[in-house]
């Protein structure tokens, strides 16, 4: 089994599913995983990790960057 690595953290499930759709459109398999421990009875929409196979990490990052709006990206400046 290929090791999975984190390529993004989404603020909520809806955002994670948008990233998942971008990756699937690029032919990259991914998995979503809760980024924090939550109460199983909670209705709160928790942050989600987006995980891809280690050998597809670069492709995934490029796909996310190319399909994201420039305003959505965090600047390092």
Query: pLDDT 10s digit of each residue in the chain, 77 long?
Result: 689 999 999 999 999 999 999 999 999 999 999 998 876 666 668 899 999 999 999 999 999 998 866 555 444 44
Look at residue 48 and tell me if it is in a domain: no
Q: Which residues of 59-75 are buried (b: 16+ CB within 10 A; e: fewer)?
A: bbeebbeeeeeeeeeee
Residue with tokens 């399909």: 67
Look at residue 51 and tell me if it is in a domain: no
Indicate whether 25 belongs to any domain.
Answer: yes
pTM above 0.85, yes or no: no
Question: Residue 18: inside a domain, yes or no?
Answer: yes
pLDDT of residue 58: 97
The predicted structure's pLDDT at residue 75: 42
| Residue 15 counted as domain residue | yes
Q: Which domain holds residue 21?
A: 1-37+57-68
């Amino acid at each position: 089994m290929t090791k999975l690595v984190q390529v993004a953290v989404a603020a909520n499930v809806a955002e994670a599913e948008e990233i998942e759709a971008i990756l699937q459109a690029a032919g990259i398999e991914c998995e979503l995983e809760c980024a924090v421990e939550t109460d199983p009875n909670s209705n709160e929409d928790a942050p989600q990790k987006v995980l891809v196979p280690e050998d597809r990490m670069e492709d995934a990052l490029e796909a996310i960057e190319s399909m994201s709006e420039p305003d959505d990206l965090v600047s390092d400046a």
